[in-house]
Amino acid sequence: MPGKGELKYKDKTIIVIGAKDEGSIGRIQGKTISIAYCDEMSLYPENVIDMIATRLRQPHSIGIASMNPKHPDHKIKKWIDLAEKGDPNYYSLQFMIDDNPFLPEDYKQMLSTSLTGLFYKRNYLGLWCLAEGAIFDFWDRDIYVTEKVPGNTSYWIAGIDFGMNNPTACVLIRVSTGQESQMGKTFYVEDEYYWDIKQKGRQKLVGELAEDIVAFLENYTVKNLYIDPSAAALRAELNRKGLHTVDADNDVEQGIIKMTTIVQSGVCTISPKCKNLIREIEGYSWDPKAGQRGDDAPIKQNDHAIDCLRYCLSTHKVPTYKPEPIKQNDGFGLPRYTPTRRNF
């Protein structure tokens, strides 16, 4: 049925439902489900998972789910544990990146070297583990802090994190194209603006902060200014002053994955002038209390310049990684093609 995401087949109705929020419950509630296929089910809200489970109520009903691991107390991990203990109602299979015959070796190698810490353990090794310790666990000033500016500058981007009772920060990033990189671009964090009311002794008005940021960026060709989506007043003031602002992607967990992957790969380096950003990176850690609640979240302190960097690297479009096609056939005489990597 056009527009409803439904397909009628004989006496069955096949429904496609997004499960990113609790609004999905209304489309599931009251239904009897024969087969439920759930992609990335570990990302579903827990009450959506519960509702799906209660709808599989016929003797022949079956639920099939694929996912990357999350924290070890996740509801689905408990189902996996039941399967491993021999419960006949549950069955589990674990696949590693190396088990996929359709992925090229250079892509597997790229994943093994670019993922780090929590994301390496979960998305590469397939471990159900807590988020703990340093987020930039690979960090080395000698590698990632440099005065060497990449050549072939194309434009600049900037990120802003606004705080009324906390610091307001802005980082300026030089974007270079044509470099030898799987992503086709390199990033150099060139400078930072940082207004800390505790150090300065007073908070500035929104208009004053906007004037500071305009002055900070006025000598650069800034293509996009990525801003905290909740900072509506500052965004309006910056737009009024002629800057092009863009609401940043504020998915924290996915943003951290993208940011740490790009930094560790060496595609993003930082000027020693960015003292606050460097200080924050070196203290950026997972919140153990959030981990105990089943949430993956950083400790919310001293993260204002880091949020600016995350806004830029997680929102700014980066070209896709395209490995060379595999030339052999698939065993049935048909050509086999490699997938294309999604944007970071």
Contact criterion met (CB below 8 Å) for 210 and 162? no
Let me know: does 45 contact 69? Beta carbons within 8 Å.
no
Indicate the SS3 state at residue 148: coil
Percent of the chain with pLDDT over 90: 42
Q: What is the pLDDT of residue 198?
A: 81
pLDDT of residue 279: 95
Give the pLDDT of residue 21. 67
Residues forming a β-bridge with 270 = 145, 189
185-217 pLDDT, tens digit each? 889 999 999 999 888 878 899 999 999 999 999
Query: Which sign does the torsion angle of CA 231, 232, 233, 235 carry?
Result: positive
Instruction: Give the CA-trace dihedral at 250, 255, 259, 261, to 10 degrees.
Output: -170
For residue 63, list its beta bridge partners.
36
User: What single letter denotes the amino acid at residue 183?
Assistant: M
Highest mean predicted confidence (pLDDT) among 85-89, 95-99, 324-328: 85-89
Spatial distance between the Cα atoms of 261 and 274, rounded to a whole number of angstroms = 20
pLDDT, residue 97, reads 83
Q: How far apart are CA 341 and CA 184, in angstroms?
A: 13
Which domains, and CATH codes, for the chain? Answer: 6-67 (no CATH), 141-315 (3.30.420.280)
Which pLDDT score, from 0 to 100, does residue 329 have? 43
- Cβ-proximal residues to 64 (8 Å cutoff; 6+ apart), any chain: 35, 36, 37, 38
The pLDDT tens digits for 159-172 are: 999 988 889 999 99
**Tens of pLDDT, residues 217-253:** 999 989 999 998 899 999 999 999 999 999 999 999 8
pTM of this structure: 0.71
Condensed to tens digits (0 to 9), the pLDDT of residues 269-294 reads: 999 999 999 999 999 999 888 877 77
**Average pLDDT along the chain:** 84
pLDDT at residue number 99: 85
User: In the numeric block, which tokens belong to residue 302?
Assistant: 């001293």
Tell whether the model's pLDDT for residue 335 goes beyond 50.
no
